Copies of this chain bind each other. A is one copy, B any other.
Amino acid sequence: MVKDGATAEGTRDRLVRVTADLLQRQGYEATGVKEILAAAGATSSSLYHHFPGGKEDLAREALAYGAEQFAGLLRGALARADTPETAVAACALDLAEDLAASGWSDGCPVAVTALESVAGSPQLREASARLFEQWQEIIADRLRALDVPAAVAGELASTVLCALEGAELLSRVTADPAPLRTAARHLSTLVEVSRSPARGR
């Protein structure tokens, strides 16, 4: 086995990384095994050696890989701000920036595949569901750390993630950062109102 993973990227890692990229842009159904192999510079025998379950098996790992990148983006945005209002806005604004920079192609690395999986693959669907929950927990944790009452942080994180996913979808399809930018402001407002117990939820 290759131990120095920092320098030499093995075939297996290359397959995962390339697949994550393709799944993010095109989704599971539109991404062919042949396309993956060409992009990774690998052959089918390598793929089925490292991933006996085939395309679906590889996709599951690629989703997790992409999700970790996305989690890093969220953590970075959340950590940069020192109030819960600016923290959630930073997430949306960072997303808008990355999305625009990639020509509206690199959005949420899971969304397309997750939606397709509902009808196509229980395995990928469950995996996607877990990843969404992880992201929500990341947001909720940061909100709690910034003095948002624990009782509302969880549900607030849910809606923040929903709005991020939805706005990212709209921005991506319309090739317009406005939905994400508008959501950033509205999420700030929502958090501001929700953290003061005086107004209730």
Contacts and interface: CB of A to CB of B under 8 A. Distances in A.
Interface of A: 25-27, 29-30, 104-105, 107, 111-112, 114-120, 125, 128-129, 132-133, 155-156, 158-159, 161-170, 172-175, 178-179, 182-183, 185-186, 189-190, 193-194, 199, 201
A189 B193 contact: yes
Contacts of A107: 118
Q: In terms of DSSP, what is the predominant structure of the interface of chain A? A: helix
A82 to B, nearest CB: 21
B183 A159 contact: yes
Q: Which of A166, A174, A175 has the most CB of B within 10 A?
A: A166
A189 B194 contact: yes
A173 B30 contact: no
Contacts of A105: 118-119
Given A158-B179, A162-B166, A115 B27 contact: yes
Contacts of A111: 115, 169
A51 to B, nearest CB: 21
Nearest to A193: B193
Given A30-B116, A30-B119, A169 B167 contact: no
Contacts of A128: 173
